Structure 1
Amino acid sequence: MHVADPQRYGALPFRRAGRSGLDLPAISLGLWQNFGDADPHERRRDVVLHAFDRGITHLDLANNYGPPPGAAEEALGRILARDLRPYRDELLLSTKAGYDMWPGPYGSGGSRKYLLASLDQSLARLGTDHVDLFYSHRFDPTTPLEETLGALRTAVDSGRARYVGISSYSAHRTQQALAVAADLGLTLTVHQPAYSMLNRWIERPDPMAGDRSLLDVVGGAGLGAVVFSPLAQGMLTGRYLDGIPAGSRAARGGSLRREFLTEENLAHVRALAAIAADRGQTLAQLAIAWALRDPRVTSVLLGASSVGQLDENLAALDGPALTAPDLDRIDEHAVEAGVNLWAARSSDL
């Protein structure tokens, strides 16, 4: 059984999620990448335990994280049982359902049958009777929002989730979801969108939302924003400035596609790396600080393949404040790079 560092709450800042009573660490640990069956379990365990010892209480999952789907929840379930069971109430566990999970008509989308069945399976894999936050992972245009959000209300009313939220809904779909939730007597607490210096869609005015951006809608409604992929699937780590290393995410294929690494995109990334160096930071640290600059952003989700990488990213919180001249320089190169993998099935709908 792990003995947690008694100083774990001494340094990492927490931020309130909108107008809720929920505080989240400024940096949360996402288990989307580096947490499948191919990743050594002891390394996964070391990262989770070190994150908790550094004050990261929020561990973010989805039903299909792996590979294979479900593997990340199973791995964390083993860590909870072996090491963190005494600390369960200090942890905030989140999971989601919406994307493909199992074959057939009931293994994807936003139906009541799928969402609640998936949640039950997630609880079994995690070995817990509730998650602290359960998301509709994406907007499903084939299912009424009343049904999707009604399933979220059932999750709360049954005690299987403490809070609920939505992920990757556009500004106008978020407005619609908020209206339906109000009619159902349901409180949405968090929105989880992708956001980075190369993927700024949540700042963009949405004509169907009265030209309000997703950040405007989220902020106005009192939701917290937990943003994922702040390092643009690794493009903002500096790893690809001189080509595609063997064994890297881009070399393997998947969430970082080779076609994203155009000369135009890489020119912007190199310029951002130079700005980071001028500030005494790594490119990743600059990207994290930039994503957190807006007070409507509650937390950024980061994966980590090692304890060292996690510590390097946490050091972003100790860097110098971003000045107006810094932000002006960044804005020249923080441009849309066509890396929003989720747009066609969520934010564009």
Structure 2
Amino acid sequence: MQWQNVGSSGLTVSRVGLGTMTWGQDADEETAREQLRLFTEAGGTLVGTAARYSDGRAEAMLGDLIGDLVARSELVLAVQGGLTRSHGGVRRADASRKGLLDSLDASLARLGTDHVDLWLAPVRQAGVPLEETLSALEVAYRTGRARYVGVSNQAGWELALAAASAGFPVVAHEAEYSLLNRTVEREATPAALALGVGVLAWAPLGRGVLTGKYRGQTPADSRAASDLWAPYVEPYLTGRPHRVVEAVVTAAKGLDLAPLEVALRWVMHRPTVAAALVGARTSHQLKDVLAAAQEPLPQQISEVLNEVSAPS
């Protein structure tokens, strides 16, 4: 496992992070334990979670494993803040000072720790001033409940405004980034590069589509076949994403690699990317990810993939 600093900060993380979005839904306690064991034995340190994952169940499962399976000091906990509330059936993050700090305290209780290593503010919320959100981050940072702070899923101008307005270091930006979604390159990654902010790329395998398993059919045990996850995967199953997947599969055959390894290595070596957060449904999937080499792809292959996947 390789490690890298997050942006220009001193926070060092494993280049592959373990996402826990599936914990408490697809992954039960036994699967979660096995995933964390495999991950840490491979040298992984970065674990990403959030209060909204299974309504807090993912954090609670992780908290049960800390101290039992792995020492707290061996993990870098990256936690997305903000309660998920329901307003007329619509679920959204709460970026208010009260919502953020309440959610942080609840996360700490579920995780069984007095601090997180990286705390991330959610996407900006209409009606909540940026200054209010930043004040919650500052409280967490100044009190030591969060060793480092950052933001998630922000547009480039929002990231720049937050970093420029804060009286403390904003070191990370968590955002979706893969060969199937390069939206962050329009504004967010140039802003991150200029500000010394590190990017944590979630869904680096294109929500599983870049593994090639959806070519020609939808496996019965896949996310796309699930009522819960199908809306999450379907946008990447037709049109332009299909051409990108075929290019990845072709490159993988030429390099004698698995498609997921090509996709993962591509995103890991994009400018500003500190780590790729992978949320596996099964331990077998995680083993495949951990077995992948982490060196850059050959330049010629990267250039072809850049061209094929370039945003319109």
Q: Same fold (TM over 0.5)?
A: yes
Distance 1:102 1:174, change over 3 A: same
- Match of 2:309, SS state, is coil
Q: Does 1:79 align with 2:65?
A: yes
1:117 is displaced (CA, Å) by: 0.4
CA distance in 1, matches of 2:37, 2:163: 36
Partner of 2:173: 191
Tell whether the 8 Å contact from 1:106 to 1:114 is kept in structure 2 after alignment. no
Distance 1:36 1:335, change over 3 A: farther
Distance 1:94 1:177, change over 3 A: same
Partner of 1:310: 286
| Correspondence list, 1:285-296, <5 A | 285-296=261-272
Match of 2:79, as an amino acid? Answer: T
Q: Does 1:270 align with 2:246?
A: yes
Partner of 1:250: 224
Of 296, 299, 303, the residue aligned with 1:324 is 299
Partner of 1:93: 77
- Match of 1:178, SS state, is helix
* 1:133-172: CA deviation from partner (whole Å, max 9, x where unpaired): 1110212232111100110110112221111100011111
* 1:111-150: CA deviation from partner (whole Å, max 9, x where unpaired): 0010000111111111111111111021223211110011
Distance 1:215 1:256, change over 3 A: same
1:317 is displaced (CA, Å) by: 2.3
CA distance in 2, matches of 1:271, 1:334: 9
CA distance in 2, matches of 1:16, 1:164: 14
In terms of fraction of residues, the more strand-rich structure is 2
Match of 1:76, as an amino acid? Answer: L
Tell whether the 8 Å contact from 2:178 to 2:263 is kept in structure 1 after alignment. yes
**TM-score normalised per structure 1:** 0.83
Of 76, 96, 102, the residue aligned with 1:117 is 102
Q: Give structure 1 stretches of 5+ with no counterpart.
A: 1-11, 205-212, 338-349
**TM-score normalised per structure 2:** 0.92
CA distance in 1, matches of 2:91, 2:209: 35
Tell whether the 8 Å contact from 1:138 to 1:167 is kept in structure 2 after alignment. yes
- How many residues align? The count is 309
CA distance in 2, matches of 1:55, 1:64: 27
Partner of 1:346: none
Q: Percent identity?
A: 35
Match of 1:61, as an amino acid? Answer: T
Tell whether the 8 Å contact from 2:212 to 2:259 is kept in structure 1 after alignment. yes
Match of 2:256, as an amino acid? Answer: G
Partner of 1:20: 9
Distance 1:38 1:151, change over 3 A: same
Tell whether the 8 Å contact from 1:136 to 1:167 is kept in structure 2 after alignment. yes
Q: Give structure 2 stretches of 5+ with no counterpart.
A: none
